């Protein structure tokens, strides 16, 4: 049963979401887990354990955590390439995600996908995709299939603000609307498509307004506020599930780190980053739960120790795991075992 | 066996799938109310309803992508792209998603999607509607690429395409829809990766697919009058490719010409030539030649279009020279 909080605001949010105290605390815990995991990944990248592109979710934890906690466990998730947070929020094993970043055979896709292509179909986590907006048609198709089968399952499609000027964005919104597909689009507007500010390249800066052109119900939410995000997604998911067609949510957020580990961040000022850091979704939530008396300082320390351990164990697991065998190279190019030619001198 | 058109053969396969597999549905531009740009799906909307036969917006990328997504969720969609020209607007979905998802997901995801489209030239449709881009798709691991030449191929290969657990790019030829041939009324399936000996011969192998099989066959008939016994191979699928069948024929004839509408430079014919020299070099009596389309955007005028495409007379000339030891 819900304890009486000191802050009316939070209690109202509580009531609105129908979340228990434990679940609300769980949201904080999950955000902390994502943050610590990403910090560990950055450390492992610096130590040469992780290669390629590594896009960290640090700063945006409120969006994935708030949104995915508001979905049913079998609702599809189709995400972009900054998707570690979504995978963790959906409950993929941190050890297997870290092993994937290391390129090990114990990774969620056995080292085939890497950071940008995490998949766990058993958890309806239908992947991270690295072509901007190229995953939106897939979300439409998954939703179409469930509509065809007559289930209540919906698809949640995460995308960035960079995706909204791609043709596939407009094609997907239009199709989803005319066919009333059960898909919820969640745009994580962190104000930069890589290093290009939204206002420099977008005719309409308020992204959620674009959905109106397709007759799709759309809203904007403070993505730095995990409860507000949860509340919005829960409501919109219900709407989508009831057969009213797609919905669109713009979550305002900010990434505290560069686009990828290779980003020197010439395009934004330190003061701007500091301004947003003051709105850190994790620190905001900690302050509120402490103020409400739902957690104590000891609880925070205990949770921090737990997520430290999770991240450390993930890195140890990844380190100790084996690389995939050379012999496995050509496996699964085709689902029927048909094989292409392996280059003999590669 | 009844004589039916290539179009009707395709219709029979599609109807069978709709009648026998609830997971199958069709979607594409103008496949319903209009009846299909090449009338392949004419009447299907009335027969099977909007749930199974979906008219889509002109949005190739999301149509193919939605087909991929639906396949990921356990359905067996057939997407009609009208023509291969328009498939270029969906090439991100075909190459970045359809072909790679099974591998990238470590085998967790399957994409049993059939993508039908019409290709080829020779109908005076101009530069943007006269493409033979099959080599682009055949280049991509994870895709299967089917190029039926006859009504018999069309039905048997399309039936097999629906048995696939992989994405299939099924390329029909615009100039063949009205062509006729014998097709069994019963269900049959033709295996992928098995070329057909369209005409047996001993002196030179003419290798074709889709429309060029017929050109090769007509050239072989003319060559017969010149005393040359040409073998004609119908590849049926480009990926998988029947390398063994090609090599077996070339070992017999010691000479080969690839006939294709495709541009010569970087075309599929070049791949066949490379495979022949890798696998049958010692059996060759002459260089392996290509009779391809010219490297030019397709012009509209009949006079120019015919000049840009391989012609029977050209195949005959190349074959005669090859058999007499004269090479270009």
Question: What pTM does this model have?
Answer: 0.95
Question: Does any CB of chain B come closer than 8 Å to the CB of residue A137?
Answer: yes
**What average pLDDT does this structure show over B165-194?**
97
Q: pLDDT of A286-327, one tens digit each?
A: 999 999 999 999 999 999 999 999 999 999 999 999 999 999
B62-93 burial: b if 16+ Cβ within 10 Å, else e: bbbbbbbbbbbbebbbbbbbbbbbbbbbbbbb
Q: What does the alpha-carbon distance between residue A122 and residue A92 come to, in Å, rounded to a whole number?
A: 10
As a whole number of angstroms, the distance between CA B68 and CA B78 comes to 10
Cα torsion A160, A164, A166, A169: sign: positive
In chain A, the residue whose alpha carbon lies closest to the alpha carbon of B66 is: A141
- B216 with B117, same domain: the answer is no
- Choosing from B80, B102, B129, B214, which is the catalytic residue? B129
Q: What is the mean pLDDT of chain B?
A: 96
Cβ of B59 within 8 Å of Cβ of A334? The answer is: no
Residue A3 has pLDDT above 70, yes or no: no
Helix (H, G, I), strand (E, B) or coil at A299: helix
Long-range contacts of B91-94 (CB under 8 A, 24+ apart): B91/B136, B92/A131, B92/A134, B92/A168, B92/B61, B93/A134, B93/A137, B93/B61, B93/B64, B93/B65, B93/B68, B94/B64, B94/B137, B94/B140, B94/B143, B94/B167, B94/B169
Does A279 lie at the interface with B, CB-CB under 8 angstroms?
Answer: no
In a domain, A5, yes or no: no
Q: What is the model's pLDDT at position A13?
A: 55
Q: Answer whether B70 sits within 8 Å of A145, measured CB to CB.
A: yes
Query: Does B233 map to a domain?
Result: yes
Higher-confidence position of B95 and A346:
B95
Is B214 one of the catalytic residues? no
Q: Is-contact A292 A305, C-beta < 8 A? A: no
Closest to B137 in 3D by CA, of B165, B95, B103, B191: B95
Span A159-201, pLDDT tens digits: 999 999 999 999 999 999 999 999 999 999 999 998 898 888 8
| Cα–Cα distance measured from residue A50 to residue A84, given in angstroms and rounded to the nearest whole number | 14
* Best residue of B108, B169, B239 to probe chain A, by most A CBs closer than 10 Å: B108
What confidence score (pLDDT) does residue A261 get? 85
Residue B326 has pLDDT above 80, yes or no: no
Assess contact for B277 and B306: CB atoms under 8 A. no
pLDDT bracket for residue A89 (50, 70, 90): very high
Cross-chain Cβ contact B68/A137 below 8 Å: yes
CATH code of the domain containing B245: 3.40.50.920
In this structure, is residue A4 part of a structural domain? Answer: no
Q: What is the DSSP secondary-structure string of A37-71?
A: HHHHHHHHHHTTSS-S-----TT-HHHHHHHHTTS
Q: Phi and psi for A300 in degrees, rounded to 5?
A: -60, -45
Phi and psi for A249 in degrees, rounded to 5? -125, 125
Q: What is the pLDDT of residue A265?
A: 86
Alpha helices (H) along chain A: 8-17, 21-46, 61-68, 84-90, 94-102, 136-149, 167-178, 198-201, 226-241, 270-277, 281-291, 297-320
CB-CB contact of B148 with B200 (8 Å):
no
Do B244 and B172 lie in a common domain?
no
Q: How far apart are CA A40 and CA A312, in angstroms?
A: 7
- B60 as an active site residue: the answer is yes
Regarding whether B82 and B35 lie in a shared domain, the answer is: yes
Q: Are B66 and A144 in contact (CB under 8 A)?
A: yes
What span, in angstroms and rounded, lies between the C-alpha atoms of A86 and A103?
Answer: 19
Final residue of a domain: which of B147, B182, B217?
A: B182
Given an 8 Å threshold on Cβ–Cβ distance, is A146 in contact with B73? Answer: yes
In a domain, A3, yes or no: no
Is residue B267 a part of any domain in this protein? yes
Tell which residue, B150, B142, B137, B165, has the closest CA to residue B235. Answer: B150
What's the CATH code of the domain at B124?
A: 3.40.50.970
pLDDT band at A8; cut points 50, 70, 90 = very low
Q: pLDDT digit string (tens) for B288-300?
A: 999 999 999 999 9
Instruction: Return the C-alpha torsion angle B31, B34, B39, B40, nearest 10.
Output: 20
Residue B266: how many CA atoms within 13 Å on its side-chain side? Answer: 6
The total domain count for chain A is 1
Chain B residues near residue A174 by CB distance under 8 angstroms: 57, 59, 62
State the complex-level ipTM: 0.96
Q: Is the pLDDT score of A243 beyond 70?
A: yes
pLDDT of residue A15: 56
The crossing angle, in degrees rounded to 10, of helices B268-280 and B243-253 is 60
Identify the closest residue of chain A to B164 by CA–CA distance: A336
The H-or-E segment that residue B104 falls in is helix B101-104
Same domain, B114 and B235: no
With CA atoms as reference, the chain B residue closest to A331 would be B103
Predicted pLDDT of residue A346: 56
pLDDT value at position A4?
42
| Per-residue model confidence (pLDDT) at position B280 | 96
Question: What would the two tokens of residue A223 be?
Answer: 């993505």
Report yes or no on B128 lying in a domain.
yes
> Where residue B86 falls among pLDDT bands split at 50, 70, 90?
very high
Domain that holds residue B34: 3-182
pLDDT reading at A238 higher than 80: yes
Domain of A100, CATH number, reads 3.40.50.970
In this predicted model, what pLDDT tens digit does every residue of A55-87 receive, in sequence order?
Answer: 999 999 999 999 999 999 999 999 999 999 999
Which position has the token pair 């590669």?
A: A346
Same domain assignment for residues B227 and B128: no
- The domain boundary, picked from B182, B205, B232, lies at B182
Show the 3-state SS of A62-82. HHHHHHHCCCCCCCEEEECCC
First-to-last alpha carbon distance for chain B, in angstroms, is 44
Judge residue A319's burial from the number of C-beta atoms within 10 Å of its C-beta, 0-12 exposed, 13-18 middle, 19 or more buried.
Answer: middle
Average pLDDT, chain A: 93
Token pair listed for B206: 């003419």
- CB contacts < 8 A, A to B, total 148
The DSSP symbol for A2 reads: P
Mean pLDDT computed over A204-227? 95
Closest by CA to B116, choosing from B44, B70, B38, B169, is: B169
Strands (E), chain B: 3-5, 24-28, 53-55, 76-83, 114-119, 144-146, 168-173, 180-182, 196-199, 204-208, 230-234, 237-239, 256-263, 289-293
**Nearest-CA neighbor of A253 among A160, A190, A163, A162?**
A190
**A76-79 and A192-193 strand pairing:** unpaired
What domain count does chain B have?
Answer: 2
The answer to whether the Cβ–Cβ distance between A168 and B65 falls below 8 Å is: yes
Q: Look at residue B202 in the predicted model and tell me its pLDDT.
A: 97
pLDDT at position A339:
77
Q: To probe the interface with A, which of B104, B109, B115, B239 has the most A CB atoms within 10 Å?
A: B104
Distance CA B249, CA B206 (A): 10
Q: A154: nearest CA in chain B?
A: B73
Q: What is the pLDDT of residue A259?
A: 87
Per-residue model confidence (pLDDT) at position A10: 54
Q: Are B69 and A137 a contacting pair at CB < 8 A? A: yes
Q: How far is B272 from chain A (nearest CA, A)?
A: 14
Contacts of A332 in chain B (CB under 8 A): 102-103, 106-107
Please list, residue by residue across A92-124, b when 16 or more beta carbons sit within 10 angstroms of its beta carbon and e when fewer do.
Answer: bbbbbbbbbbbbbbbbbbbbbbbbbbbbbbebb
B102 chain-A contacts, CB cut-off 8 A: 332-335
* Domain identity same for B201 and B286: yes
Subunit contact A332:B103, Cβ cutoff 8 A: yes
**Per the CB < 8 Å rule, is A178 touching B57?**
yes
Clarify whether residues B210 and B163 are in a common domain: no
A6 pLDDT exceeds 50? no
Residues of B with CB under 8 A from a CB of A: 25, 51, 54, 56-57, 59, 61-75, 77, 92-93, 96-97, 101-112, 141-142, 144, 164-166, 240
Domain annotation covers residue A331: yes
Q: Return the structure tokens found at A32.
A: 């902390």
pLDDT of residue A14: 61
The verdict on a CB contact (< 8 Å) between B164 and A336 is yes
**Radius of gyration, CA atoms only, chain B:** 20
Q: Are residues B135 and B246 in the same domain?
A: no
CA A42 to chain centre: 17
Gap between the Cα atoms of B211 and B192, Å rounded: 18
The mean pLDDT value for B88-100 works out to 98
Mean pLDDT of the B126-152 span: 96
Give the residue numbers spanning the domain of A154. Answer: 21-342
User: Do residues B275 and B268 lie in contact, with contact meaning Cβ atoms separated by under 8 Å?
Assistant: no
Is residue A15 one of the residues assigned to a domain? no
Segment B98-126 shows an average pLDDT of 96
The 3-state DSSP class for residue B145 equals: strand
Name the residue of chain B whose CA is nearest to A139's CA: B69
Q: How far apart are CA B191 and CA B181, in angstroms?
A: 19
Per the DSSP assignment, residues forming a β-bridge with B206 are B232, B257
Q: Tell me the mean pLDDT in the region B203-212.
A: 98
Distance CA B295, CA B279 (A): 28
Banded model confidence at residue A341, pLDDT cuts 50, 70, 90: confident
Q: How far is CA A13 from the centre of its chain?
A: 22
Indicate whether B12 and B161 sit together in one domain.
yes
The reported pLDDT for the residue numbered A264 is 85
Q: Does residue B91 sit within a domain? A: yes
The pLDDT tens digits of the residues spanning B259-269 come to 999 999 999 99
Gyration radius from chain A CA atoms:
20
Same structural domain for residues B143 and B200? no
Closest to A145 (Cβ–Cβ): which among B75, B165, B166? B75
Residue B99 lies in a domain: yes
One domain, residues B171 and B242:
no
Last residue in a domain, options B155, B182, B209: B182
**Helix (H) or strand (E) segment spanning residue B319:** helix B312-323
Clarify whether residues B39 and B167 are in a common domain. Answer: yes
The pair of three-digit structure tokens given for residue B145, joined into one six-digit string: 């690429």
């Amino acid at each position: 049963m819900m304890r009486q909080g000191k802050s009316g605001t939070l209690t109202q949010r509580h009531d609105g979401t129908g979340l228990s105290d434990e679940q609300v605390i769980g949201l904080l815990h999950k955000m902390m887990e994502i943050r610590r995991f990403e910090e560990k990944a950055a450390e492992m990248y610096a130590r040469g354990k992780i290669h390629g592109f590594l896009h960290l979710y640090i700063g945006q934890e409120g969006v994935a955590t708030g949104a995915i906690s508001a979905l049913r466990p079998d609702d599809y998730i189709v995400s972009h390439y900054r998707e570690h947070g979504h995978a963790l929020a959906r409950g993929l094993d941190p050890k297997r995600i870290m092993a994937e970043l290391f390129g090990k055979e114990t990774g969620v896709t056995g080292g085939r996908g890497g950071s940008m292509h995490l998949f766990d179909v058993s958890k309806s986590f239908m992947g991270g995709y690295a072509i901007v907006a190229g995953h939106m048609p897939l979300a439409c198709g998954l939703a179409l299939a469930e509509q065809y089968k007559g289930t209540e399952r919906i698809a949640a499609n995460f995308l960035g603000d960079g995706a909204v000027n791609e043709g596939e964005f407009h094609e997907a919104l239009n199709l989803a609307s005319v066919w009333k597909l059960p898909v919820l689009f969640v745009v994580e507007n962190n104000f930069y498509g890589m290093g290009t500010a939204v206002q420099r390249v977008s005719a309409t800066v308020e992204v959620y307004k674009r959905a109106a052109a397709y007759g799709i119900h759309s809203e904007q939410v403070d993505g730095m506020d995990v409860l507000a995000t949860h509340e919005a997604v829960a409501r919109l998911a219900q709407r989508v599930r009831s057969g009213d067609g797609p919905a669109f949510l713009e979550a305002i957020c900010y990434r505290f780190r560069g686009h990828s580990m290779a980003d020197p961040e010439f395009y934004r000022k330190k003061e701007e980053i500091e301004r947003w850091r003051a709105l850190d979704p994790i620190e905001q939530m900690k302050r509120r739960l402490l103020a409400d008396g739902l957690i104590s300082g000891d609880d925070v320390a205990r949770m921090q120790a737990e997520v430290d351990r999770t991240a450390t164990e993930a890195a140890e697991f990844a380190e100790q795991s084996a690389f995939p065998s050379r012999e496995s190279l050509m496996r699964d190019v085709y689902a029927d075992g048909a094989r292409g030619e392996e280059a003999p001198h590669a | 066996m009844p004589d039916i058109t290539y179009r009707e053969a395709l219709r029979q396969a599609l109807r069978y799938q709709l009648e026998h597999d609830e997971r199958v549905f069709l979607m594409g531009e103008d496949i319903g109310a209009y009846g299909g740009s090449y009338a392949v799906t004419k009447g299907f909307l009335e027969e099977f309803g909007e749930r199974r036969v979906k008219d889509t917006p002109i949005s190739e990328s999301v149509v193919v992508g939605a087909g991929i997504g639906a396949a990921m969720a356990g359905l067996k969609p057939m997407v009609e792209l009208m023509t291969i020209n328009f498939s270029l607007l969906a090439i991100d979905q075909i190459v970045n998603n359809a072909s790679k998802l099974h591998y990238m997901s470590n085998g967790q995801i399957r994409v049993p999607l059939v993508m039908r489209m019409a290709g080829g030239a020779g109908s005076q449709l101009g530069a943007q509607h006269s493409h033979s881009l099959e080599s682009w798709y055949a280049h991509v691991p994870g895709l299967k690429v089917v190029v039926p030449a006859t009504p018999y191929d069309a039905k048997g290969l399309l039936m097999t395409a629906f048995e696939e657990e992989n994405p299939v790019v099924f390329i029909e030829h615009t100039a063949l829809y009205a062509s006729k041939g014998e097709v069994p009324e019963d269900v049959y399936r033709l295996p992928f990766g098995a070329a057909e000996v369209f005409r047996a011969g001993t002196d030179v192998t003419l290798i074709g697919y889709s429309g060029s099989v017929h050109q090769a066959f007509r050239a072989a008939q003319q060559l017969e009058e010149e005393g040359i016994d040409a073998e004609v191979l119908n590849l049926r699928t480009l990926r998988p490719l029947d390398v063994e069948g090609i090599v077996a024929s070339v070992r017999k004839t010691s000479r080969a010409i690839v006939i294709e509408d495709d541009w010569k430079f970087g075309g599929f014919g070049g791949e066949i030539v490379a495979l022949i020299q890798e696998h049958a070099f010692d059996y060759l009596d002459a260089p392996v030649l290509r009779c391809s389309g010219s490297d030019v955007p397709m012009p509209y005028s009949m006079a120019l279009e015919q000049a840009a495409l391989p012609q029977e007379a050209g195949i005959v000339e190349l074959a005669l020279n090859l058999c007499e030891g004269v090479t270009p």
